[in-house]
Amino acid sequence: MKNLIKSTFLLFSLFTVLTVAAQTKANGPVLTFAEKDHDYGKIDIENIPEATLNVKFTNTGSQPLILSNVRGCCGTRITDYTKEPIMPGKTGNIKVEFEILPKIQTISRTVTVMSNSANSPDIFKIKGEVVEVDKSIIKKK
């Protein structure tokens, strides 16, 4: 009987803590990217695109969102980002530049956003693959 009471109390306590944590999280700012990542897919080595992105996001929380630091990895440059507070329901942007070298490779970059968001740090992924397209398989008309 004692174990049943202890178990019930423990489960009730855990439920209460999780409920309060979920409500607290929902009441603050939340950064939500318009797209979870950017996938270039397969890029022909002879047709490398310009590697500039405008990463859009929305504050889906209930308090102003403030970005404190935005950084890119692996030579990815953050040229600009929204510096003023983003009100609930409003959007912001992060301008990203990097170079895609004309060699066979896998593209794997990240943009890390530090903010007062409930899920900070938020990570935006950039991916793709540079390949050599076999021109002999393309049929001529």
In-domain check, residue 14:
no
pLDDT in tens, 75-129: 899 999 999 999 999 999 999 999 999 999 999 999 999 999 999 999 999 999 9
In-domain check, residue 55:
yes
Give the chain's domain count: 1
Query: Rounded to an integer, what distance in angstroms lies between the CA atom of residue 139 and that of residue 141?
Result: 6
Q: Is the pLDDT of residue 17 over 60?
A: no
Could you tell me the residue range of the domain that residue 38 belongs to? 29-134
In-domain check, residue 18:
no
CATH code, domain carrying 125 = 2.60.40.10
pLDDT at 24: 46
